[in-house]
Chain A
Amino acid sequence: MVDPKKKKKKKKPLDLNRRAMPKQAPEVRSHNFGEVALGYPAALAIEEAKRCIQCPKPKCVDNCPVEINIPGFIKAIAEGDFARGIQIMKEKNCLPAVCGRVCPQEEQCEEVCVLVKKEGQIAVGRLERFIADWEAEQGKIEIPKKAPKTGKKVAVVGGGPAGLTVAGDLIQLGHEVTIFEALHKMGGVLIYGIPEFRLPKAIVQREVDYLGALGVELVTDFVVGKTRTVDSILDEYDVVFVGSGAGLPWFMDVPGENLNGVYSANEYLTRMNLMKGFLFPEYHTPIKEHKRVMVMGGGNVAMDCARTALRLGAESRIIYRRSRSELPARLEEIENAEEEGVIFDFLTNPVKYIGDENGWVKEIECLRMELGEPDSSGRRRPVPMEGSNFIMPADAVVCAIGNSPNPLIAATTPGLETGRGGTIKVDPETMKTSKDRVWAAGDVVTGAATVILAMGEGRKAARSMHQFLTA
Chain B
Amino acid sequence: MFKVVASRMIVPNMHLLTLEAPNVAREAQPGQFVILRAEEEGERIPLSIADWDADLGTVTVIFMNVGSTTNRLAALQRETSIPTVVGPLGNATEIEKYGTVLCVGGCYGIGSMFPIARALKEKGNRVITLVEGRSSYLFYWEERLKAVSDKTIQITRDGTKGYQGHISRLPDILKDIDEKPDRVIINGCTFLMKRGSDVTRPMEIDTWVSLNPIMIDGTGMCGVCRVSIGGETKFACVDGPDFDGHQVNWDELLQRRKTYMTEEVVPLRTSRCEEHRLRAQGK
Contacts and interface: CB of A to CB of B under 8 A. Distances in A.
A336 interface: no
A174 interface: no
Contacts of A263: 223-224
A406 B219 contact: yes
Range of interface residues on B (Cβ < 8 Å):
35 or more
A260 B258 contact: yes
A284 B45 CA distance: 11
A408 interface: yes
Given A184-B83, A283-B41, A223 B259 contact: no
B164 to A, nearest CB: 33
A249 B258 contact: no
Interface stretch (B116-124, B197-205, B260-268): B260-268
Contacts of A283: 41
Interface in A245-300: 247-249, 251, 257-258, 260-261, 263-264, 266-267, 270-271, 275-276, 279-288
Contacts of B68: 284
A358 B254 CA distance: 11
Contacts of A286: 43, 260, 263-264, 266
A270 B216 contact: yes
A271 B24 contact: no
B194 interface: no
Given A184-B83, A184-B84, A281 B267 contact: yes
B81 interface: no
Nearest to B85: A221
B27 interface: yes
Contacts of A152: none
* Residue among A264, A283, A284 with the highest chain B CB neighbour number at 10 A: A284
A284 B43 contact: yes
B220 A358 contact: no
B217 interface: yes
Contacts of A377: none
B255 A267 contact: no
A222 interface: yes
Interface in B242-276: 251-252, 255-256, 258-260, 263-264, 266-267, 270
Interface string A220-234: 111100111000000
Given A258-B252, A284-B43, A267 B259 contact: no
B27 A223 contact: no
B260 A288 contact: yes
Interface in B37-57: 37, 41-44
A248 B41 contact: no
A266 B267 contact: no
A287 B263 contact: yes
Contacts of B44: 184, 275, 285
B217 A221 contact: no
B152 interface: no
B24 to A, nearest CB: 7
Most-contacted residue by chain B among A251, A281, A358 (CB, 10 A): A281
B133 interface: no
User: Is chain A's binding surface mostly helix, strand, loop or mixed?
Assistant: loop
B256 A260 contact: yes
A212 to B, nearest CB: 16
A204 B99 CA distance: 55
A358 B88 CA distance: 34
B168 interface: no
B43 A266 contact: no
B136 interface: no
A258 B252 CA distance: 8
Given A275-B44, A288-B263, A227 B86 contact: yes
A248 B252 CA distance: 22
A270 B24 CA distance: 24
Nearest to B257: A260
A39 to B, nearest CB: 29
A358 B83 CA distance: 36
B126 interface: no
Interface in B94-133: none
Contacts of A260: 255-256, 258-259
Interface string A392-434: 0000000000000011100000000000000000000000000
B11 interface: no
A221 B84 contact: yes
A130 B80 CA distance: 43
A284 B69 contact: yes
A267 B223 contact: yes
B24 A227 contact: yes
B147 interface: no
B221 A248 contact: yes
Nearest to B72: A284
B263 A247 contact: no
Contacts of A275: 43-44, 216
A256 to B, nearest CB: 11
Contacts of B226: 258
Contact of A222 (B86, B251, B255): B86
B233 interface: yes
Interface in B198-249: 216-224, 226-228, 233, 238
Given A183-B217, A226-B27, A286-B266, A251 B41 contact: no
Contacts of B85: 221
Contacts of B220: 247-248, 406-408
Contact of B221 (A279, A284, A406): A406
Nearest to B249: A258
Q: Which of B42, B221, B227, B260 has the most CB of A within 10 A?
A: B221
Contacts of A247: 219-221
B260 A359 contact: no
A270 B222 contact: yes
Given A184-B83, A257-B233, A406-B219, 17 more contacts: A182-B219, A184-B44, A226-B88, A227-B27, A251-B223, A258-B256, A266-B221, A266-B223, A267-B216, A270-B222, A271-B216, A284-B43, A284-B69, A286-B264, A288-B259, A358-B255, A359-B256
Of all A-B residue pairs in the complex, the 3 with the closest CB atoms, nearest first, are A286-B263, A359-B255, A221-B86
15 contacts: A184-B84, A221-B85, A258-B228, A261-B259, A267-B224, A284-B41, A284-B267, A285-B216, A286-B43, A286-B266, A288-B263, A359-B255, A359-B256, A407-B220, A408-B238
Interface of A: 182-184, 220-223, 226-228, 247-249, 251, 257-258, 260-261, 263-264, 266-267, 270-271, 275-276, 279-288, 358-359, 406-408
Interface of B: 23-24, 26-27, 37, 41-44, 68-69, 83-89, 216-224, 226-228, 233, 238, 251-252, 255-256, 258-260, 263-264, 266-267, 270
